[in-house]
Amino acid sequence: MAGVSIAYENEIMFSDYMFLHVFQIHFVLLISRQGKVRLTKWYSPYTQKERTKGNTEGNWTKKYAVPKCPPILPSPLFGLPDKGGLFVQNPPFSWDYLSNPEVLRELSGLILTRGPKLCNFVEWRGFKVVYKRYASLYFCMCINQDDNELEILEIIHHFVEILDRYFGSVCELDLIFNFHKAYYILDEVLIAGELQESSKKTVHRLIDAQDSLVEAAKEQASSISNMIAQATK
């Protein structure tokens, strides 16, 4: 019994450790070679008011205390206690003072100007942006500095393979004219910035089911429209 309890405790400790170290993707961007944004998905929560506060210099005029329960593990999002005993955020590690266009403009200029022989990881404002180019599109994901870049590259490739299988050699025009389907596929792969489904077959089955529901709704709406048209003659 003692051996069982020790093994059980080790299992709990291991699971807790894994839970605390789960990575989170802060946002996903798809950018064309011309700098046009084809898809954006933001997973880090902040209000619309915080999004519109632009401060390109990173200077703060007021200190904002973090939530009452700070994370257990050290995080680059939080600074050291100040003289008043409050934890304050470090300006370089937060985009609360950057609007979405500013983030997109900075990252577009940073990634599109990099040479093809450079690595696929870029350090940006205390975070790490992992990107990979497929044809004319750059797939970018933002993570914390201590997260695994190779794992994010695999997630990007996993997402691209699903798009390829669905659209048949996906191109930029597919994402322009069928952006709603691209968002639906992304939501099946990632939820709240974490990997939700690693099986391509499962994702395709769910997408096919969604398409079937859409077609059934269209047929029902068409039949109702025909009935109304005949009744009003």
The CATH number assigned to the domain holding 95 equals 3.30.450.60
SS3 127: strand
Q: Residue 25 is part of which domain span?
A: 2-198
Please indicate, yes or no, if residue 206 is contained in any of the structural domains. no
Residue 199 phi, psi dihedral angles, 5° rounding: -95, 120
How many Cβ atoms sit within 10 Å of the Cβ of residue 185? Answer: 23
70 CB-side CA count, 13 A: 15
DSSP class of 209? H
Within a domain: 88: yes
In a domain, 46, yes or no: yes
Q: Is residue 204 part of a domain?
A: no
Residue 205 in domain? no
Instruction: State the total domains in the chain.
Output: 1
Please report where in the chains the tokens 């099946």 appear, as a residue. 188
Q: What does the DSSP assignment read for 134-170? A: ETTEEEEEEEETTS-HHHHHHHHHHHHHHHHHHHTS-
Amino acid letter, 59: N
Domain membership flag for residue 209: no
Within a domain: residue 213? no
CA 49 to chain centre: 21
How far, in Å, CA of 126 to CA of 31, rounded? 21
Is residue 104 assigned to a domain?
A: yes
| Per-residue tens of pLDDT for the chain, all 233 residues | 444 444 434 443 434 444 444 668 999 999 999 989 899 898 876 555 544 443 333 333 233 333 333 333 333 444 444 444 443 343 344 444 455 677 788 888 889 988 888 999 998 888 899 999 998 899 999 999 889 999 999 999 999 999 999 998 888 999 999 999 999 999 999 998 899 999 999 999 999 999 999 899 988 888 888 888 888 87
